[in-house]
Amino acid sequence: MAGKAVLEHVLDNIVAAGVTDIGIIVGDQAERIGQAIGDGSRFGARITYLRQDQPLGLAHCVTVARDFLGDDDFLMYLGDNILPEGIGGIVRGFAAERPDARIVVQKVADPSAFGVAEIDAHGVVGALVEKPVRPRSDLALIGLYFFTPVIHEAVAAIEPSARGELEITDAIQWLVTRGRTVTAVEYTGYWQDTGNVDAVLDCNRRLLDRLTASRAGEIDADSTVTGPVVVEAGAKVVRSRIEGPAVIGAGTLVEDSRIGRYTAIGRDCAVRDTRIGASIVQDGTTLTGLHGLSDSLIGRSASVRAGSHHRLIVGDDSEVEIAR
C-alpha cells in the first residue's frame, strides 16, 4: 500500500511512537518476512523473529514471546491493522498511567462482527464479548493492546476456546473478573483491518492522499506526470502518463502506459502498454497489454498480460494470461 507492505506501515507506526525493540511472531512465512523486513535497522528498530509453529491464538503469541518480553510492559499490535494517524498519544498515556491492561477500541456500525468491549463512563472495561449476537456496545477491539507483566499469569490460567486457540480476549477477561485494572481508549482516527482486498485498496487510497511528490527516478520528455506522484530512484517512466496520487517503486519501468490515480506500483516491476488505476501492484510484477484494469491487487512476481477490463486478485508468484 502506497509503496510499502502493510507490515512496513505497522513498523513505521510503532517506531514513531517510541518503541524500538520489536518482536515479530512468524509462522510458515518466516523466511519471506525476514527477507523483506531484515533486522529492523532501516526502521530505526531492533527486530527479533519469534517462531509460532501453529496459529494457536493471540494469547499463545504472548507465550511464544515470553522470554523476549521478560518482565517489561509491552504493546501487542496486530500486523494487519492500519492506523495512519499514529499511536504515540496512546503509548504515552499507557506509560504514564500503567493500568494492568489497556485495549484500544473504535465505534463500528456492525459490532456483531468484532470483539466488543463494554466500558463504563470512566473507561474501565466491564466485559469483553467476542462477536456478540446482541451487542451491548458498539465499541470494537481494533487489534492494539497494552499489557503489564500480569498478563502472563492470565495467559497461563486460561483454556483454549472452542476453536482450539488461546484467545487474548479470554486472558483480558480473566484480569477483569479478578478485579485487575483494565481500561480502554477510543481511537477516533482512521482504522482499517486489511483482512480483505477492498479494505487494502481503501487503505491504499487513504495513505496516498497523504503523499508528497518526489521525482528521484527518470521521466522522459514524452511523459506527463501530474499531481502528487512519487517516482523512486532507479525507476524509469517512458512515453507514459501518470496521474497522482501514485507511487512508482524503485527499479520499475513504466513504458507506453497510463497510471491512474490511487495506484501504487512496487519495486522492480515492468509495466508496458497498460492502463491501470486505483490498484496495488506488488514487487517484481510484469503487466503487459492491459487496458482498463482497475480496483485490483496483484501479488509479488506475478505476470499478467493482455485483456480488457478485469478485476484481479492475484497471489504471490502467480502467472496469469487473459484472452483478448
Residue pLDDT, tens place only, 74-92? 999 999 999 999 999 999 9
The domains of the chain are located at 6-195, 208-321
Angle of CA points 187, 190, 192, to nearest 5°: 100
DSSP 149: T
pLDDT for position 171? 96
Contact 103, 174 (CB under 8 A): no
CATH superfamily of 6-195: Spore Coat Polysaccharide Biosynthesis Protein SpsA; Chain A (3.90.550.10)
Residues 12-29, mean pLDDT to the nearest whole number: 96
pLDDT of residue 268: 97
Instruction: With beta carbons less than 8 A apart as the criterion, state whether 289 and 306 touch.
Output: yes
Q: Is 245 exposed, middle or buried (0-12, 13-18, 19+ CB in 10 A)?
A: buried
pLDDT band, very low/low/confident/very high, at 274 (cuts 50, 70, 90): very high
CATH superfamily of domain region 208-321: Hexapeptide repeat proteins (2.160.10.10)
* In contact, 293 and 314? CB cutoff 8 Å: no
Mean pLDDT of the chain: 93
Tell me: the pLDDT tens digits for 98-131?
Answer: 999 999 999 999 998 888 999 999 999 999 988 8
| Grid coordinates belonging to 221 | 520528455
User: In the prediction, which pLDDT does 306 show?
Assistant: 75
Q: Helix (H) and strand (E) counts for the chain? A: 8, 29
Could you tell me the pTM of the whole model?
A: 0.88
Q: Residue count of the chain, please give it.
A: 324
149-179 pLDDT per residue, tens:
999 999 999 999 888 999 999 999 999 999 9
Map grid coordinates 502493510 to a residue: 6
Q: H or E segment at 199?
A: helix 197-208
What residues form DSSP beta bridges with 298?
281, 314
> What pLDDT score does 324 carry?
65
Residue 113: the pLDDT is: 85
323 pLDDT band, cuts 50/70/90, is low
Rounded CA-CA distance 32/45 in Å is 19
Distance CA 40, CA 7 (A): 12
Q: Residue 124 carries which DSSP code?
A: B
% of the chain exceeding 90 in pLDDT = 83
**Residue 292: pLDDT band by 50, 70, 90 thresholds?**
confident
The secondary element (H helix, E strand) that includes residue 9 is helix 6-16
The continuous run of DSSP H or E covering 223 comes out as none
- Specify whether the CB–CB gap between 6 and 82 falls below 8 A: yes
pLDDT tens column, 37-81:
999 999 999 999 999 999 999 999 999 999 999 999 999 999 999
**Residue 310 pLDDT exceeds 70:** no
Bridge pairing between strands 74-77 and 139-147: antiparallel
